[in-house]
Chains A and B, each alone.
Chain A
């Protein structure tokens, strides 16, 4: 592979953009255009990552490695496999749409908002690209700062409670992970993920490390029962913040499980897989019911996110059980692929739904479901998009929501039909809350004068929703482009899982 600085470019271009917006964007309109230019440029630069990834080549590509801290043997090491590539492209895509979507929604302190958004983008790409644990941790924590500012400044009435809870809650989890990383560093003498994965660890060490990682990642995903920060953060965040939170930030947790927990602590992961699977199933069933009764649109989608992200953890840990207990590598690949497709799909679907809610909120300034009704009559295009995304949310075949869930359920079935049975319950409960929501807000007679006065979608909003819809349908109709991209990485993970460390 020739030396490539593509990943560095993708990290630093938006961060430079953030500084440029702060410095030159005194006028709100200048700030918006500047942010758009940087977001678009970053998205354009991320496409070669996807087209240039060689699925027959080595797993980690676009590798960069510079010494960073000599005394700790920590490096500025970047690299991307298919999983990272997919998530990075999703990140740049979602940020571009958020910049467009926030155009008219944010009127106060625009430069700061756009700078936080772009800074967030660079940091998130860094999380998915880092192959050095210390670098990963730095990016992992750094993303709290822009989101803290975003929720706190542009959020709803309880924003301060929500943003402090968000920050302290997630910091609480990740700092335990820091201890685990330092421990592994002392054990191996370096910080590279590859060295961590090869470190010989006793089963007791693995158990401690495993739970330290769980503390960090489970809160990020978030898994039941540590999901309680998410509804608050989502409800209070501005629309753009909600999109980034749901579409990208939650994925960091799932990504962390696959990148850290499985390779570094495979035996402990297997031993405690039942805990993770049980928590995932509880999330699917219980949180699904919680979503059903929410009177607040954003809360409903937030809880539905928790339920859908449970498929990611379910797929990840069922794969482990499959490959170790039954030697079923094909089933394990299916589980991990399913988890990954579910992450990408949920990125599109939840991002789109929060974008829709942002559009509704901008017109009505309420998030209560009871204030809406019959929007389909006044905003036909919007109604159509909403129905599509709701269908994807409940896993209709042909949309992206179906693919990931189906793969995870298939994999679970090979391990334990009962697990598949419980997981498949989401198809019912998901359809329940999604379709009932559609009925209440899109269909029926126009509820009140305010709804009747809602303006149809403008061009900008239409583009954002259409782009999300394209993603949902593309993954739903032809998921092969995604699974082919990730196949080498998934194969490598599964082959690593097969080898016990103890």
Chain B
């Protein structure tokens, strides 16, 4: 792996097969969509799902393969990447399934919706497989530029435009921070390759670049904090969640968070693993702040999307706790947590989209009043999701919290574990309030709800929520998968 020699190896193309397939399929869909009439959008829908299915199939083939580098270390295919990519593709597929009737009713079911999401997915896949600072940045920009446009998809809504501008300005700032940090790392080590940065980072006190590295690290952590939405870099999150069409909120809260975890893993563990005592301290500060800000402010929200935005912030806090001992088991717990959170977020926003009819957004918590009388099945699904988000056993969310708490206590940070559970108790209140509204309050209107007759959506949503119950019993295989993926990838070879 000589960085000065740029050699093309055709075997690299095989390593990148899922990405290349997705890119080819997306370009084909782009062309096909040009010739479709608005009434034929279902063809785009089916093709997009097929493209994702094909990508998932290719990913599944190499899920257990050992780590492979491609293009002179620019690209890494390993267990973590495979795991995260599969779930990224899954959540994107769920976004498509859930969005069809919602977007059609709002006249937003345009070809761009599919194309931008597919490009964002490609960006996420690149990001979690990044082996060099350049790939990280390219993947990230592909993801975020697509996301900005997606948030603004509803051009007539001032709320959406405001959210998109906010997202864009703050996102650009975060990218700037990240780039600045990257340039410092490059300055200190003279390489863009993550593994080589890790090997060359000289941490002895007398080393000339110690300060430079530390500054670079700070900027990287700030950038990662922005992308994840950790406090105090969370300001964009509630507005974007609130302003974006719910389909896009769903995407930002699930797939894109999975990719952000992958990025954090590549940058912190992959490039700066030797400095983990420095970054664990920073992350624990971010974690505690996120837990506090997320859980406390969520109580005051009356809008469910904003409440879930603050809930995301608190979950990011929990997730960061998984990183704090810098071991494979810890990051495995964080990845496990994020997968769990992505499933819960898709279920929660899915129910909101199901209940939303044209001209009526089921966004305020009061809109859910008496849902149990109007539609007991989906009230049950929402209740499962809320209890799971609150971390009540036997649901999946509890076990994700359990694994992170185990990591934290194992690392000797008992006080952090206690802070985390105290905020979990505070958080319990606002999740219970949603259940309370659905089950205990009388409905404003007794009539049964007219739900969209979109059967794939309804089936997928029910399966999504029931998965939270099933995974509560049978979460062992997923945990083993996370552990194996991480154990094979940490520590990174030089």
* Chain A residues with a Cβ under 8 A of chain B: 68-72, 109, 112, 134, 137-139, 141-142, 144-145, 148-149, 152-153, 159-160, 163-164, 167-168, 171-172, 175-176, 178-179, 182-183, 185-186
Contacts and interface: CB of A to CB of B under 8 A. Distances in A.
A152 B439 contact: yes
B45 interface: no
Where chain A touches its partner, the secondary structure class is: helix
A148 B476 CA distance: 28
Given A69-B479, A145-B392, A182-B402, 18 more contacts: A70-B480, A71-B480, A109-B372, A112-B376, A138-B394, A139-B393, A142-B392, A144-B392, A149-B435, A153-B439, A153-B440, A163-B440, A167-B432, A168-B432, A172-B425, A179-B417, A182-B405, A186-B410
B60 to A, nearest CB: 22
Interface in B345-395: 372, 376, 387, 392-394
Contacts of A148: 432, 435
5 contacts: A112-B372, A134-B402, A159-B440, A160-B440, A179-B418
Interface string B404-444: 01100110001001100100110011001001100110000
Contacts of B398: 138, 141
A176 B439 CA distance: 29
B393 A138 contact: yes
A179 B424 CA distance: 13
A485 to B, nearest CB: 30
- Contact size range, B: 20 to 34
Given A69-B475, A71-B483, A175 B432 contact: no
A204 B479 CA distance: 33
Contacts of A142: 392-394
A171 B425 contact: yes
Contacts of A171: 392, 425, 428
B410 A178 contact: no
A70 B432 contact: no
B425 A179 contact: no
B439 A149 contact: yes
A134 B473 CA distance: 12
A70 B476 contact: yes
Interface string B435-477: 1100110000000000000000000000000000000000110
Contacts of A71: 476, 479-480, 483
A362 B287 CA distance: 52
A141 B421 CA distance: 14
A164 B406 contact: no
A178 B402 contact: yes
B483 A179 contact: no
Interface string B302-335: 0000000000000000000000000000000000
A446 B393 CA distance: 50
Nearest to A134: B402
A167 B428 contact: yes
A160 B410 contact: no
A106 to B, nearest CB: 15
A186 B408 CA distance: 11
Given A167-B432, A168-B428, A141 B392 contact: yes
Contacts of A172: 425
Nearest to A126: B394
Closest 10 pairs (CB-CB, A-B): A138-B393, A69-B476, A152-B440, A141-B393, A175-B421, A138-B394, A182-B406, A142-B394, A172-B425, A182-B409
A179 B404 CA distance: 11
B137 to A, nearest CB: 35
A311 to B, nearest CB: 30
Given A171-B425, A175-B421, A160 B436 contact: yes
B406 A168 contact: no
Contacts of A182: 402, 405-406, 409, 417
A126 B85 CA distance: 38
Nearest to B482: A71
Nearest to A167: B432
Contacts of A186: 406, 409-410
B379 to A, nearest CB: 10
A138 B394 CA distance: 6
A139 B394 CA distance: 7
Given A171-B425, A185-B406, A164 B432 contact: yes
A379 to B, nearest CB: 33
Contacts of A109: 372
A183 B409 contact: yes
A141 B394 CA distance: 8
B432 A179 contact: no
A285 B309 CA distance: 49
A137 B393 contact: yes
A124 B256 CA distance: 40
Contacts of B387: 145
Contact of B424 (A134, A137, A175): A175
Contacts of A179: 405, 409, 414, 417-418, 421
Contacts of A137: 393
A322 B205 CA distance: 61
A172 B418 CA distance: 11
Contacts of A164: 429, 432, 436
B207 to A, nearest CB: 36
A176 B475 contact: no
B474 to A, nearest CB: 9
A176 B421 contact: yes
Contacts of B392: 141-142, 144-145, 171
A127 to B, nearest CB: 12
A207 B389 CA distance: 32
A237 to B, nearest CB: 13
A242 to B, nearest CB: 18
Nearest to B424: A175
Contacts of A185: 406
B358 to A, nearest CB: 30
Contacts of B435: 148-149, 152
Contacts of A72: 406
Nearest to A76: B473
Contacts of B439: 149, 152-153
A251 to B, nearest CB: 20
A175 B436 contact: no
